[in-house]
Amino acid sequence: MRRVGLIRGKDTAKPFFGGADFLAVLCIVGLHLANAQGGYINLSGSDYAGDLSAKEAWEILKSDESARLIDVRTMPEWAFVGIPDLASLSKKPLFLSWQLFPNMQQNPEFIDQIRGAGAKPSDTLLFICRSGGRSRMAAMAMTSQGFEKCYNIAGGFEGDHDGANHRGSVDGWKVADLPWIQE
């Protein structure tokens, strides 16, 4: 869910972005600046197929043989927070970090790693991260590389912050009560 609104000031209205949108804007700015220095993926002119809820993504994974779930979080997130479990669908998620831990620089091999895993431009690619920011960037990047059906799972694995600034109670894979495991 896109959260773009207005903050009312004395005489002006200023746009604001919340949650994953704010992160996506920061990433876009950072990627364009970094691209000027080389070594980063250029997202100019790219878009993606759209945002899905975790439940919508699950239905696509069930019904579309070509659908692949690509978890773009980091290894510590997979190890400590948990991972989606697709065993009941006879599928396995693909684990490829969009950003590399611990410095969180963009993974310059990301696109090649997706291709190396056997993804085809006609496959349905469903990207998931913690809350939807990194996965949106990954969907945009793969769309810019000619992949036709790249979706962002809005809310990600843990979801947005609740009123107490905690994740895991508002939306996302876990809140949707979809299968997941923790090692």
86-122 pLDDT, tens digit per residue, is: 999 999 999 999 999 999 999 999 999 999 999 999 9
Residue 68's closest CA among 90, 46, 53, 50? 90
d(CA 21, CA 34): 20
The full set of domain ranges for the chain reads: 20-181
DSSP 33-49: HHHHHSSS---TT---S
- Residue pLDDT, tens place only, 43-95: 555 689 999 999 999 999 999 999 999 999 999 999 999 999 999 999 999 99
Class of domain 20-181: alpha beta
Mean pLDDT rounded to a whole number for the chain:
81
- The total of other beta-carbon atoms located within 10 Å of residue 32's CB is 13
Chain Cα centroid distance, residue 34:
20
Angle, helix 20-37 to helix 133-144, in steps of 10 degrees:
50
CA distances from 88 to 62, 84, 98 (A): 9, 11, 26
| Amino acid (one-letter) located at 148 | E
d(CA 51, CA 76): 25
Check residues 37 and 150 and name the one with the higher pLDDT: 150
Cβ pair 31, 20 in contact under 8 A: no
Phi and psi torsions of 149, nearest 5°: -125, 80
